[in-house]
């Protein structure tokens, strides 16, 4: 059984070693394709792989066509919008994610970026503190819950909205349950995005919504770039000179944001949310274990395609 790790953005070496141990202990073989720059390299590497571990790497019909022996793809992480689920099902390939395994890493980055943001990107001018400010969390999944936990330590007032999580579950975590995402944007000083990229959420963070924010509002995105309506956000930030946008996923319109709003916009050069040794180890080893359990026991827990 051949398991291929294909990561354009590699795991920490210690995580690869952990994955190797799991795979080899099961009597399987591990192959590694890291930092590839051309799709052709991926197409070649998947030819004889029975299982695939990926991160944000794109697995589309062409990759699945090339991977004649493939039975399972595990996205070591939360969001699986990079995998064509319908094509995988058509190719009889099981797709899984590893929910929760990197959520603390993403939540910690939110606060790294937020402190950087409220202190004016460390330009020397007096900024503000987070204590007592209102934080809105959209939505309340694994990352959102971790963000709430850390925000409590900062002494923030915390609200959350989640279209799929009942208000009682949010309140049970000690967080105010907003009635709508509009309420979240209207009432909070900072809104932190933790929604997946789906047909419903794509482009949903638009001018009408962000425009509801109070003076000095900060929008922080460690989720997906696709959920932002970039042209409308550019328009809004030009009209509202008080708003800041901080993101861990470089927008398509990065050059325009950076040029027009050098003191109100920041993007990491490469998505860094899950880029910690701990998150890589957690998600990578979970992926390896899920693959072993799939082949040895037929276990399909965490399967995301039908």
Task: Write out the residues near ligand 3PG by the rule CB under 6 A.
Answer: 9, 55-56, 77-79, 102, 271, 273-275
Q: Which is nearer to ligand 3PG, 117 or 284 (CB)?
A: 284
> Shortest approach of ligand 3PG to residue 9 CB, angstroms?
6
Q: Which is nearer to ligand 3PG, 159 or 275 (CB)?
A: 275
Q: Which is nearer to ligand 3PG, 80 or 185 (CB)?
A: 80
Q: What value does the CA radius of gyration of the chain take, rounded to a whole number of Å?
A: 20
Identify which of 196, 3, 204 has the alpha carbon closest to the alpha carbon of residue 82: 196
> Shortest approach of ligand 3PG to residue 275 CB, angstroms?
6
Q: Which is nearer to ligand 3PG, 53 or 237 (CB)?
A: 53
In the Cβ-directed half-sphere of 199, how many Cα atoms lie within 13 Å?
0
Q: Which is nearer to ligand 3PG, 73 or 236 (CB)?
A: 73
In angstroms, the CA 241 to CA 233 distance is 12
> Shortest approach of ligand 3PG to residue 199 CB, angstroms?
17
> Shortest approach of ligand 3PG to residue 77 CB, angstroms?
2
Q: Which is nearer to ligand 3PG, 6 or 236 (CB)?
A: 6
Residue nearest to ligand 3PG (CB): 77
| First CA to last CA distance, the chain | 24
> Shortest approach of ligand 3PG to residue 76 CB, angstroms?
6
> Shortest approach of ligand 3PG to residue 300 CB, angstroms?
20
In angstroms, the CA 86 to CA 93 distance is 10
Task: Give the distance, in angstroms, between the CA of residue 218 and the centroid of all CA atoms in the same chain.
Answer: 19
In the Cβ-directed half-sphere of 113, how many Cα atoms lie within 13 Å?
30
In angstroms, the CA 93 to CA 46 distance is 13
The structure tokens 């099961």 sit at 26
Residues 6+ apart with CB under 8 A from 262: none
């Amino acid at each position: 059984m051949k398991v291929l790790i294909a990561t354009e953005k590699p795991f920490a070496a210690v995580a690869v070693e952990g994955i190797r141990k799991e795979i080899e202990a099961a009597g399987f073989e591990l192959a590694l394709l890291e930092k590839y720059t051309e799709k052709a390299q991926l197409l070649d590497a998947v030819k004889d792989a029975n299982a695939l571990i990926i991160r944000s790497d794109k697995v589309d019909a062409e990759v699945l066509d090339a991977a004649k022996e493939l039975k399972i793809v595990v996205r070591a992480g939360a969001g699986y919008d990079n995998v064509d689920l319908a094509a995988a099902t058509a190719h009889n390939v099981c797709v899984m994610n590893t929910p929760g395994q990197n959520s603390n890493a993403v939540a910690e980055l939110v606060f790294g970026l937020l402190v950087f943001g409220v202190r004016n990107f460390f330009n020397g001018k007096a900024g503000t503190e987070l204590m007592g400010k209102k934080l809105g969390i959209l939505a309340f999944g694994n990352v959102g819950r971790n963000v709430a936990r850390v925000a409590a330590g900062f002494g923030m007032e915390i609200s959350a909205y989640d279209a799929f999580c009942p208000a009682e579950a949010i309140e049970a975590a000690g967080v105010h349950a907003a009635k709508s995402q509009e309420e979240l944007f209207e009432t909070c000083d900072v809104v932190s995005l933790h929604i997946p990229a789906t047909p419903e959420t794509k482009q949903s963070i638009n001018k009408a919504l962000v425009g509801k924010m109070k003076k000095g509002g900060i929008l922080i995105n460690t989720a997906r770039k696709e959920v932002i309506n970039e042209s409308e956000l550019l328009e809004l930030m030009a009209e509202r000179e008080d708003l800041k946008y901080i993101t861990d996923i470089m927008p398509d319109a990065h050059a325009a944001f950076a040029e027009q709003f050098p003191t109100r916009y920041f993007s990491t050069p490469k998505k860094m949310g899950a880029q910690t040794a701990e998150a890589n180890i957690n998600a990578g080893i979970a992926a390896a274990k899920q693959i072993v359990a799939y082949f040895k026991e037929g276990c399909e827990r965490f399967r995301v395609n039908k």
